Amino acid sequence: MSTMHAPIHPGEILLEEFLLPLGISQYRLSKAIEVPPRRINEIVHGTRGISTDTALRLARALGTSARFWLNLQTHFDLEAESEAHRAELDRITSLVGA
């Protein structure tokens, strides 16, 4: 039996693994990467995804790669959509190798 966990939004990773440990405020990060403070706040609260533009900026400021942030976002999106449409997806049968 597998236990389903809610997918982790990249904003949670940003907050818990970068901002808090490094003592960087959302405002300071927003100024460093030249985006509106609201963008960072929405990402941290999980109401906004990480765009390619934001991923590039975060990577530069935080010493990561843009791919790191985009992979987190893609994983989150896939898990969330898969869960949201589980019943529909379960009704679809494979057309290959059936």
- Segment 15-58, tens digit of pLDDT: 999 999 999 999 999 999 999 999 999 999 999 999 999 999 99
CATH architecture of the domain 10-91 equals Orthogonal Bundle (1.10)
pLDDT at residue number 1: 43
Cα pseudo-dihedral 29, 55, 49, 38, rounded to 10? 30
Count the Cβ atoms, other than its own, within 10 Å of residue 78.
Answer: 11
- Residue 80 sits at the vertex; the CA angle it makes with 78 and 86, to the nearest 5 degrees, is 90
What's this model's pTM, rounded to 2 decimal places? 0.86
Q: Which residues contact 14 (CB under 8 A, 6 or more apart)?
A: 40, 43, 44, 58
